[in-house]
Amino acid sequence: MTTDTPGATPRTLCSALPAAEPGSTVRLQGWVHRRRELSAVTFLVLRDRSGLAQVVLPAGSEVPPEETTVEVVGTATANAQAPGGVEVTGPTITLLTEPAATPPVELWRPALTASLPTLLDHAPVTWRHPAQKARWQLAAASLQGFRSTLDGLDFTEIQTPKFVASATESGANVFEVDYFGRPAYLAQSPQFYKQQMVGVFERVYEVGPVFRAEPHDTVRHLAEYVSLDAELGFVRDHRDVLTVLREVLAGMVAAVHERAGEAVALTGADVPVVPEEIPVIHFRDALALVGAPDDEPDLAPEHERALGAWAREEHDSDFVAVEGYPMAKRPFYTHPWSGPADDPARWSNSFDLLFRGLELVTGGQRLHQPSEYDAAIRARGEDPASYASYLQAFEHGMPPHGGFAIGLERWTGRLTGAQNVREVTLFPRDLNRLTP
Amino acid sequence: MTTDTPGATPRTLCSALPAAEPGSTVRLQGWVHRRRELSAVTFLVLRDRSGLAQVVLPAGSEVPPEETTVEVVGTATANAQAPGGVEVTGPTITLLTEPAATPPVELWRPALTASLPTLLDHAPVTWRHPAQKARWQLAAASLQGFRSTLDGLDFTEIQTPKFVASATESGANVFEVDYFGRPAYLAQSPQFYKQQMVGVFERVYEVGPVFRAEPHDTVRHLAEYVSLDAELGFVRDHRDVLTVLREVLAGMVAAVHERAGEAVALTGADVPVVPEEIPVIHFRDALALVGAPDDEPDLAPEHERALGAWAREEHDSDFVAVEGYPMAKRPFYTHPWSGPADDPARWSNSFDLLFRGLELVTGGQRLHQPSEYDAAIRARGEDPASYASYLQAFEHGMPPHGGFAIGLERWTGRLTGAQNVREVTLFPRDLNRLTP
């Protein structure tokens, strides 16, 4: 498959220029990344999807402005000083567009030092910076690793609706849509649907957008983010879910190394080693460890950080799972604690996975008996009838099951040491931002 | 990685039972697919994600109702009469849930004959039918083939926002959302974003939901569907886009055969052969061929069917691309016809791909010069300023580019001969349907 004109010199990618035969004619296409006019010579640095290449012109040559797209036909010439040891000499440069306007930031500088609002306002252009682009390449590789690992474990990909009839899972933070004149809502997660599909395929995953009308402007929340969801049947408890999660994280890390090695180098990403067994601590013990009162229902950010430091110190691990989260803080479909405990009704078969002291994944075992759902929904003061379509799956036989959800932006944010998830989101959406 | 209790007999999938050593103890988990009480013996047919297995009990044994989830521990016993030649005898059956309620349709019957509304109303259960489930397996395999083909062609996966600030691409059929007290809209396609990302990665793809407030209740339209989008830079014209599309379709077909061979057999899917070169006909010639007036601006369904029959007859092809669609019927970013023509302003560098006489894909070359966008937007009577964030990409240098979008449900619908796209959608959404 080629997209070259028949008979014309095939296109050479910048990354393939070092392998071109010296003296041969090459044809490159890309963006003018940088112009450098020296007294004796003019350089044009060309950028394409694969990297950069140096093109040499006589001093005083007119070179199109940065970001203009061009075709360069010239001679591949060895030059030990050129990046990769080969440059293009004697070029003919053809503009593929009108000359580009001056970019809002200098994309040819090694580091992108613009402020976050500038980066975000000009996202269509600022993502072109090689170091910025590399951040997304880590995300793309991670998505591939997530899917291929689960494919290998016999999971089936699903695509479930984003329009839902009621804001059932959690009444708060839901977006309302005008759906042909009546209200509908945007799914806050594929939770209900992935559970129902466990009844069909046993093991399912979905990668897609989820919507949260998050009224706070924080560095870790977005109104729309990419959720990597998995759910599986015939588990004993949440520990089986955690075992699959470990495999998935290891697969994502492997994909990042295999498919985005250069992006790791460019971003300086600190890619973790996923331990053979992720350390697990019970919520109650976690509270004691960080010195929090034993009736705290949740972990504060500083508690998460302390647990992250503890996992690093004690287990040489970037990851730690906190299991047994209080039922009071978990959604109604959460399975109660099934291990030994002095207060079994208080704890749950669910966990948060912290990655370097930040919550990255929430997961656990779900209820699977219809009578349990009936009781759990009534306990919230709600009518099971309003959950009728979801409850069908349970009335007609569901296995013990559980699953987890990974937030893509939190993952890549943590990999790259980003201060704000917006830095690793192509076009973030929040309380204040709806463009570009 | 195992999800088995340490020390317990590992789980055997139904599909692996024929390979179990006769006389060995096996442990299976799944759903009671069917009970058959004969005078001399009782059969329990167990279903799991991999298939079915026969379990033999003494006559008169009590067997849990269909769809109850159970664990079966027994002896693998050769029996030439059993499916796969091995059955489970002397079983101990443990219920994993309360006994299941009677399903709304008999899932154990070879064919699912319920009406479409019944199928859809009880989707969490009706998808469990092996033939129904197989339909989605074709979809899942197709998604994998789409992505892996494009990965192999150096495309980068992107995830773009579904919340957009204005209903710019096409004012009609857009859903409005209450976005923190102000209006926002749901993206009808990732078109603008995938183009902007060509400026970054050259070649991008996205699989995700798109939203159309389609006011008509037809067999081929949904309010939400899964769009398989690709876009690539440095093309000569739409023919380069078509070349990539051909590779993608061939990759999807290959993935269906490799990953869902059994599903093909179960659904009786008629999987096409993708020809080395997809026949192409100009819109004007297509009108003449089907006997339509030469000033028709679009193809009616009967014209598409006639073209499908022609492609089959003349080119032995299930696919035909109609290129040169009238500019009047294409969106403003469409590139005009660049080939020889007597009336070049009338035609476009865009195409529809028909699969067995039904539009499956729309694609083509886009404008890439800022001055062209300015003129095209003004020609619609609109102000380019309202497209400011989109137009940034073009002002700062874009290559000639184009792309396409495949509707997942139309693809699998056509593969399986479904009369209605709702038959191949997990949880369809339309004018009337918002549940389950």
Q: How far is CA B144 from CA A10, A187, B132, in A?
A: 30, 24, 19
pLDDT reported for residue B216: 84
Quickly state the pLDDT bin for A1 (edges 50, 70, 90).
very low
Give yes or no for residue A169 having a pLDDT over 80: no
Instruction: Indicate the DSSP class of residue A324.
Output: -
Is the model more confident about A135 or about A214? A135
Give yes or no for residue B5 having a pLDDT over 70: no
Nearest by CB: B389 against A165, A368, A436 = A436
Indicate the residue type of A385.
A
CB atoms within 10 A of CB B80: 6
For residues A1-17, average pLDDT = 77
pLDDT in tens, B74-96: 999 999 999 899 999 999 999 99
Give the pairing of strands A69-78 and A86-95: antiparallel
pLDDT in tens, A253-278: 999 999 999 999 999 999 999 999 99
Distance separating alpha carbons of residues A411 and B62, to the nearest angstrom: 50
Residue B221 annotated in ligand binding: yes
C-alpha distance from A301 to closest chain B C-alpha (Å): 26
pLDDT in tens, A366-391: 999 999 999 999 999 999 999 999 99
Helix intervals (H) in A122-223: 123-126, 130-152, 191-201
Residue B37 annotated in ligand binding: no
pLDDT in tens, B18-36: 999 999 999 999 999 999 9
Instruction: Tally helices (H) and strands (E) across chain B.
Output: 11, 16
Please report which helix (H) or strand (E) contains residue B150, including its range. helix B130-152
Contact A49 B201 (CB under 8 A): yes
Q: Is the CB of A236 inside 8 Å of chain B's CB atoms?
A: yes
Contact B426 A158 (CB under 8 A): yes
Q: What angle do CA B222, B224, B229 make, to 5 degrees?
A: 105
pLDDT reported for residue A72: 98
Could you give phi then psi for residue A313, rounded to 5 degrees?
A: -70, -50
Nearest by CB: B371 against A98, A127, A408 = A98
pLDDT in tens, B321-331: 999 999 999 99
pLDDT reported for residue B166: 85
Which chain A residues are within 8 Å of B223, Cβ to Cβ?
163, 179-180
Q: Is the CB of A124 inside 8 Å of chain B's CB atoms?
A: yes
Residue B381 has, within 13 A of its CA and on its CB side, a CA count of 0
Contact B393 A125 (CB under 8 A): yes
Give yes or no for residue A156 having a pLDDT over 50: yes
Contact B176 A178 (CB under 8 A): yes
pLDDT in tens, A396-412: 999 999 999 999 999 99
Residue B410 annotated in ligand binding: yes
Give yes or no for residue A171 having a pLDDT over 80: no
pLDDT reported for residue B169: 63
Provide the b/e sequence for A327-351 (b: ≥16 CB within 10 Å): beebbbbbbbbeeeeeeeebbbbbb
Could you give phi then psi for residue A34, rounded to 5 degrees?
A: -160, 140
Contact A426 B159 (CB under 8 A): yes
Residue whose structure tokens are 């060309």? A46
C-alpha distance from B305 to closest chain A C-alpha (Å): 29
pLDDT reported for residue B2: 43
Instruction: Indicate the DSSP class of residue B14.
Output: G
Residue A333 has, within 13 A of its CA and on its CB side, a CA count of 24
Which chain A residues are within 8 Å of B203, Cβ to Cβ?
49
Nearest by CB: A395 against B101, B196, B203 = B101
Quickly state the pLDDT bin for B1 (edges 50, 70, 90).
very low
Which chain B residues are within 8 Å of A434, Cβ to Cβ?
163-165, 179, 184
Distance separating alpha carbons of residues A423 and A433, to the nearest angstrom: 14
For residues B39-65, average pLDDT = 97
3-state percent breakdown (helix, strand, coil) of chain A, nearest 5 = 35, 25, 40
Helices A130-152/B130-152 angle, 10° precision: 150
Query: Which residues are CB-neighbours of B401 under 8 A, at least 6 positions away?
Result: B195, B198, B231, B232, B233, B234, B235, B365, B366, B368
Which chain B residues are within 8 Å of A143, Cβ to Cβ?
157, 159
Distance separating alpha carbons of residues B217 and B79, to the nearest angstrom: 52
Contact B427 A161 (CB under 8 A): yes
Residue B212 annotated in ligand binding: yes
Nearest by CB: B434 against A29, A163, A370 = A163
What does pLDDT average to over chain A?
Answer: 95
Cβ atoms B126, B174 nearer than 8 A:
no
Distance separating alpha carbons of residues A179 and A176, to the nearest angstrom: 9
Which chain A residues are within 8 Å of B429, Cβ to Cβ?
161, 163
Q: Which of residues 146-185 of A touch B (CB under 8 A)?
A: 147, 151, 153-154, 156-165, 175-180, 184
Cβ atoms A100, A232 nearer than 8 A:
no
Distance separating alpha carbons of residues A342 and B290, to the nearest angstrom: 79
Among the listed residues A220, A230, A219, A224, the one whose alpha carbon sits nearest the alpha carbon of residue A174: A224
Choice among A121-130, A335-344, B49-58, B268-277 with the minimum mean pLDDT: A335-344
pLDDT reported for residue B6: 57
Query: Which residues are CB-neighbours of B261 under 8 A, at least 6 positions away?
Result: none
Give yes or no for residue B145 having a pLDDT over 70: yes
Residue A21 annotated in ligand binding: no
For residues B176-192, average pLDDT = 96
Q: Is the CB of A235 inside 8 Å of chain B's CB atoms?
A: yes
Could you give phi then psi for residue B256, rounded to 5 degrees?
A: -60, -45
* CA pseudo-torsion sign A287, A293, A299, A304: negative
Distance separating alpha carbons of residues B17 and B26, to the nearest angstrom: 8
Cβ atoms B335, B349 nearer than 8 A:
yes
Residue percentage of chain B with pLDDT more than 70: 97
Residue percentage of chain B with pLDDT more than 90: 93
Number of residues that make up chain B: 436
Choice among A142-151, A170-179, B369-378 with the minimum mean pLDDT: A170-179
Per DSSP, what are the bridge partners of residue B163? B186
Helix intervals (H) in A153-267: 191-201, 238-259, 261-267
pLDDT reported for residue A166: 85
C-alpha distance from A402 to closest chain B C-alpha (Å): 12
Residue B359 annotated in ligand binding: yes
Indicate the residue type of B383.
D
Q: Is the CB of A226 inside 8 Å of chain B's CB atoms?
A: yes
Cβ atoms B116, B102 nearer than 8 A:
no
Contact B136 A128 (CB under 8 A): no
Distance separating alpha carbons of residues B408 and B404, to the nearest angstrom: 13
Q: Which of residues 36-95 of A touch B (CB under 8 A)?
A: 48-50, 67-69
Distance separating alpha carbons of residues A158 and A205, to the nearest angstrom: 6
pLDDT reported for residue A2: 43
C-alpha distance from B188 to closest chain A C-alpha (Å): 13
Quickly state the pLDDT bin for A341 (edges 50, 70, 90).
confident
Cβ atoms B176, B185 nearer than 8 A:
yes
C-alpha distance from A288 to closest chain B C-alpha (Å): 30
Q: Is the CB of B400 inside 8 Å of chain A's CB atoms?
A: yes
pLDDT reported for residue A5: 57
Which chain A residues are within 8 Å of B49, Cβ to Cβ?
154, 156, 201-203
Strands (DSSP E) found in B198-276 = 203-211, 224-233
C-alpha distance from B202 to closest chain A C-alpha (Å): 6
Give yes or no for residue B64 having a pLDDT over 80: yes
Tokens of A167: 């804001």
pLDDT in tens, A200-250: 999 999 999 999 998 888 998 999 999 999 999 999 999 999 999 999 999
As a three-state string, the secondary structure of B151-211 is: HHCCCEECCCCCEECCCCCCCCCCCEEEECCEEEEECCCCHHHHHHHHHHHCEEEEEEEEE
- Domains in chain A: ranges and CATH: 14-95 (2.40.50.140), 123-424 (3.30.930.10)
DSSP A356-412: TTEEEEEEEEE---HHHHHHHHHHTT--GGGGHHHHHHHHT---SEEEEEEEHHHHH
Please report which helix (H) or strand (E) contains residue B95, including its range. strand B86-95
Strands (DSSP E) found in A38-129 = 41-48, 51-58, 69-78, 86-95
pLDDT reported for residue A7: 65
pLDDT in tens, B381-434: 999 999 999 999 999 999 999 999 999 999 999 999 999 999 999 999 999 999
Which chain A residues are within 8 Å of B390, Cβ to Cβ?
124, 436
Please, which contacts does B7-14 make with residues 24 or more away whose CB atoms are closer than 8 Å? B9/B73, B11/A234, B12/B76, B13/B48, B13/B49, B13/B50, B13/B51, B14/B46, B14/B47, B14/B48, B14/B50, B14/B51, B14/B52, B14/B53
Distance separating alpha carbons of residues B207 and B405, to the nearest angstrom: 10
Cis peptide before A336 (omega within 30 of 0): no
Residue B128 annotated in ligand binding: no
Query: Which residues are CB-neighbours of A233 under 8 A, at least 6 positions away?
Result: A198, A199, A202, A203, A398, A399, A400, A401, B69
